[in-house]
Amino acid sequence: MIEKYNPPEIEEKWQSRWQETRLYATSEDSDRPKLYELTMFPYTSGDLHIGHWYAMAPADVHARFMRMKGYNVLHPMGFDAFGLPAENAAIDRGIHPYTWTMKNVENMRRQFRSMGAMYDWSREVVTCLPDYYQWTQWLFLKLYEAGLAYRAKAPANWCSGCQTVLANEQVTAEGRCERCAAAVIKRDLEQWFFRITRYADELMQHEGLDWPERVKTMQRNWVGRSEGADISFSIEEYGLDEKEIRVFTTRPDTVYGVTFMVLAPEHPLVEKLTSPEYKDRVDDYVNRARRRSEIERLSTERERTGLFIGAYATNRLNGEKVPIWIADYALLSYGTGAVMGVPAHDQRDFELAKEFGLPIKVVVAPDGWRGEDLEEAHEEPGTMVNSGPFDGLPSEKGKDAIVAFMEKDGCGKKAVSYRLRDWLISRQRYWGAPIPVVQCPRCGIVPVPEKDLPVLLPQDAEFRPTGESPLKYCESFVNTTCPACGEQAQRETDTMDTFMCSSWYFLRYASPQHSDGPFDPEKLKYWLPVDLYTGGVEHATMHLFYARFFIKALRDMGIVDFGEPFIRLFNQGKIILGRQKMSKSRGNVVSADEYASEFGADAVRAYLMFIGPWDHGGEWNDNGLVGIWRWLNRIWNLVLAEATGTLRLDQDEELCRTTHKTIKKVNEDLERFHFNTMLAALMEFSNYLARVKETSAVEGSPAWREAIDSLLLLLAPALPHLAEELWERTGHAYSIHHQPFPAWREELVAEEEFTLVIQINGKVRDKVSVPISISEDEARKLALSRGRIKAQLGDRRIVRVIYVAGRLVNIVVK
């Protein structure tokens, strides 16, 4: 009897050995081509659950595969360690965020180790440690110097749950906080922003990137570029400093159809233009709109509200005077915060006009229009009417014609508008990297000099969520001297959005201990950009978007020499349980530890890959794991049990061919991340080998030896512990993970025979095994001579015979 397969024992054994021998250490001096394969690092929540394994284990398999294929692979791991949960733990349980985070890091390192991944831990980064965030601060200063960081008062997204502001990207479509799902409201606050909008056009381009189409689409939608015109309407008669209202429109061809103006309720001109008798009502409307969260705005959808403010603007193209309204469908944050009301050709304007009895003037006639009233806005192109000199033009041409005219006249010009807003990066919380600036009463905003970095987080802050940064109440932190004039000054107390930490961590892995800068330029040049990045699709318009902005900004400052951080991107699917996404807050987390300690990490890794295509995700199901567990035991026995077969091994050739066909299949599947079919092919192969071993005396057969060695090598990326153990037990030298991946020989893959399918009218009627060299004539003759076919044909007339080499003969009859 052979020993039983005992994963806890062998997995622990190899994890220790790998660590002691630094098997996975990566260096830059290698003749092999470099390959940087990165998996998104986890937040330090404290536990790696099955969802993390699903993201990381298959990525590890691919990285191992590429290493065996001869690449010098960098496959690092680290921790995204700043963020609110740490601070909430401090508030709820009185644990310092640092203590809480580092304890979690400790536990997660242990869990990572038990997964058996090939991470080079000497390159680990932890974003909350000063030797990391010092460089996050340094990068902030660089962006500030480049004019890409600025402070401004603006309506910001305020999350009442997190008691801090959020970037637009962190607010869901329902107007809720991306993290805590609390309602988000608008608040006017002084905040720090990054000018990501400067890169709007470039961020829409994905040239040279091998990224999923949907992520590129999401990013393009997020930027939301619209081409049109800025048009000004005169308000000269009110004697204000502002002589005009500027609107952005994508439909300059409809400017003759303007019958009113709409200002966003928060628009600065509202107060100045409102006539006294409307003031109370307008104030009331504005206040209600301001207080309303995005959710409420959406829930009142379709019910058009608006209010005339008692003022008029003049359409400079036709001299018409139109009333000025406010309505909350005009958004201050988009375009100029003002809209020209063209009810005939914009559905929202149409609804407002209907609701309040405003005139509807058709200027782009639908086909066959006879002057009748419209049932709804006609938004499609048509022929221009009621448009003075432009009548009769197709409206698509009219756009350019009117813009050209306005540019000459000075009342409008071609313009582009974006949905994208600048990235709001300040947070009123403790557990983040402090923004390295000082507010001096004399000098204003003064950046902290590089030599004074890091600006350390004080240990002894109070973590009460007050809506202001806890740092504000920490006098030892706040009070400082101005780096410029040396007088008393105060530090900025907001901290940075944690997405800043993750916008550059992949640069740090190249030289994580480097102390003269965020990275060693030589090493960066060697490793970057990331060749393959894997992670969840949920970061399409957040992390991935910010990281691209960062790299483009650093490129323009000459700090890096590439403009895209991630060449290839692959999004794995989500693992769900009971039809729901796994998450700590839902309490439906499946702990990987338990399964790994019972069935082994190898079984869990393999099961996750076997569920289905990696980009699909799938439901966690214990039963499936059992199937893998049985298979691993069968492999164990196949390799180690004494051979009992007695027949002479006279199928060398078939054995060889099957081996090489499997090698080919596994190589091709791993290239494409088809882990599920790779495992299926290996199951077939091991089942086949078990049948051979049962009947034949395999001992001493070179073909058998090659088959078993190949099996172990092919399994090594997916089942690193089991493969290593069996490699050792079959008398090989340490380590299997330093072996080259098996390559197939094409001449050994080629079949000598194939099954010729014979169809009548496209239906399979017979099959026959024939030599691969069969000629078309022979195949046709053979097909027609088969008894079964003759019987089927009877006396029906053969119309034609289709022959597909290597596959089939199809006899078409009447």
Partner RNA sequence: GCCGGGGUGGCGGAAUGGCAGACGCGACGGACUUAAAAUCCGUUGAACCUUAAAGUUCGUGCGGGUUCGAGUCCCGCCCCCGGCACCA
Footprint on residues 314-333 left by RNA (CB under 7 A): 328-333
Q: Does 643 engage in binding with RNA (CB under 7 A)?
A: no
Contacts of 756 (CB under 8 A, 6+ apart): 767, 768, 769, 770, 774, 779, 782, 783, 807, 808, 809
**What is the separation of C-alpha 441 from the centre of its chain, rounded to a whole number of angstroms?**
43
Q: Does 268 engage in binding with RNA (CB under 7 A)?
A: no
Among 58, 85, 257, 337, binds RNA (CB under 7 A): 337
Cβ closest to RNA, residue 122 vs residue 299: 299
Contacts of 464 (CB under 8 A, 6+ apart): 91, 470
Q: Could you give the C-alpha distances from 90 to 13, 86, 458, 586, in angstroms and in order?
A: 38, 6, 15, 21
Among 287, 318, 687, 695, binds RNA (CB under 7 A): 687
> What is the smallest separation between the CB atom of 618 and RNA, expressed in angstroms?
5
Cβ closest to RNA, residue 397 vs residue 616: 616
Length of the chain: 814
CA pair distance 809, 625, nearest whole angstrom: 43
Among 476, 633, 644, 775, binds RNA (CB under 7 A): 633
> Which residues partner with 426 through β-bridges?
496
> In this structure, are strands 580-581 and 575-577 parallel, antiparallel, or unpaired?
antiparallel
Among 443, 537, 640, 784, binds RNA (CB under 7 A): 537
Among 6, 30, 92, 224, binds RNA (CB under 7 A): 224
Cβ closest to RNA, residue 81 vs residue 309: 309
Q: Does 217 engage in binding with RNA (CB under 7 A)?
A: yes
Among 8, 381, 458, 612, binds RNA (CB under 7 A): 612
Q: Does 416 engage in binding with RNA (CB under 7 A)?
A: no
Among 42, 116, 335, 454, binds RNA (CB under 7 A): 335
CA pair distance 338, 330, nearest whole angstrom: 6
Cβ closest to RNA, residue 124 vs residue 328: 328
Restricted to residues 340-369, the positions that interact with RNA (CB under 7 A) are 340, 342, 346, 348
Q: Does 172 engage in binding with RNA (CB under 7 A)?
A: yes
Among 386, 490, 677, 739, binds RNA (CB under 7 A): 677
Rounded to 5 degrees, what are φ and ψ at 657? -65, -45
Contacts of 129 (CB under 8 A, 6+ apart): 81
Type of residue found at 767: K
Type of residue found at 15: Q
CA pair distance 410, 129, nearest whole angstrom: 56
Q: What is the 3-state secondary structure (H, E, C) of 97-162?
A: HHHHHHHHHHHHHHHHHHHCCCCCHHHCCECCCHHHHHHHHHHHHHHHHCCCEEEEEEEEEEECCC
Among 111, 163, 417, 493, binds RNA (CB under 7 A): 417
Query: Is 476 in a helix, a strand, or coil?
Result: helix
Cβ closest to RNA, residue 110 vs residue 581: 581
CA pair distance 699, 178, nearest whole angstrom: 61
Restricted to residues 101-160, the positions that interact with RNA (CB under 7 A) are none
What is the torsional sign of CA 206, 210, 216, 219? negative
Among 248, 504, 505, 741, binds RNA (CB under 7 A): 248
Q: Does 301 engage in binding with RNA (CB under 7 A)?
A: yes
Please say whether the beta carbons of 301 and 310 come within 8 A.
Answer: no
> What is the smallest separation between the CB atom of 611 and RNA, expressed in angstroms?
5
Type of residue found at 40: M
Restricted to residues 688-717, the positions that interact with RNA (CB under 7 A) are 690
Please say whether the beta carbons of 187 and 158 come within 8 A.
Answer: yes
**What is the separation of C-alpha 594 from the centre of its chain, rounded to a whole number of angstroms?**
29
Among 6, 16, 19, 221, binds RNA (CB under 7 A): 221
Question: Comparing C-alpha atoms, which of 4, 776, 162 is closest to residue 498?
Answer: 162
Type of residue found at 796: R
Cβ closest to RNA, residue 100 vs residue 595: 595
Q: Does 247 engage in binding with RNA (CB under 7 A)?
A: yes
Q: Does 213 engage in binding with RNA (CB under 7 A)?
A: yes
Among 626, 641, 647, 798, binds RNA (CB under 7 A): 626
Restricted to residues 539-568, the positions that interact with RNA (CB under 7 A) are 540-541
Q: Does 251 engage in binding with RNA (CB under 7 A)?
A: yes
> What is the smallest separation between the CB atom of 620 and RNA, expressed in angstroms?
10
Q: Does 666 engage in binding with RNA (CB under 7 A)?
A: no
Q: Does 173 engage in binding with RNA (CB under 7 A)?
A: yes
Strand order in the sheet with 618-619: 580-581, 575-577, 618-619
Q: Does 505 engage in binding with RNA (CB under 7 A)?
A: no
* Cβ neighbours around 240 below 10 Å, total: 12
CA pair distance 433, 141, nearest whole angstrom: 13
Among 374, 680, 748, 774, binds RNA (CB under 7 A): 680
CA pair distance 107, 125, nearest whole angstrom: 15
Q: Name the segment binding RNA (CB under 7 A); options: 51-59, 89-97, 334-342, 476-484.
A: 334-342
> What is the smallest separation between the CB atom of 97 and RNA, expressed in angstroms?
29
Cβ closest to RNA, residue 317 vs residue 482: 317
Q: What is the 3-state secondary structure (H, E, C) of 171-204?
A: ECCCCEECCCCCEEEEEEEEEEEECHHHHHHHHH
CA pair distance 667, 742, nearest whole angstrom: 8
> What is the smallest separation between the CB atom of 617 and RNA, expressed in angstroms?
8
Cβ closest to RNA, residue 329 vs residue 734: 329
Number of residues that bind RNA (CB under 7 A): 88
Q: What is the DSSP letter of 355?
A: H
> What is the smallest separation between the CB atom of 153 and RNA, expressed in angstroms?
19
> What is the smallest separation between the CB atom of 529 and RNA, expressed in angstroms?
24
Q: Does 793 engage in binding with RNA (CB under 7 A)?
A: no
Q: Name the segment binding RNA (CB under 7 A); options: 514-522, 643-651, 682-690, 738-746.
A: 682-690
Q: Does 33 engage in binding with RNA (CB under 7 A)?
A: no
Cβ closest to RNA, residue 377 vs residue 433: 377
Restricted to residues 747-776, the positions that interact with RNA (CB under 7 A) are 755, 757, 759, 761-765, 767
Among 257, 470, 600, 618, binds RNA (CB under 7 A): 618
Among 21, 300, 318, 591, binds RNA (CB under 7 A): 300
> What is the smallest separation between the CB atom of 185 and RNA, expressed in angstroms?
15
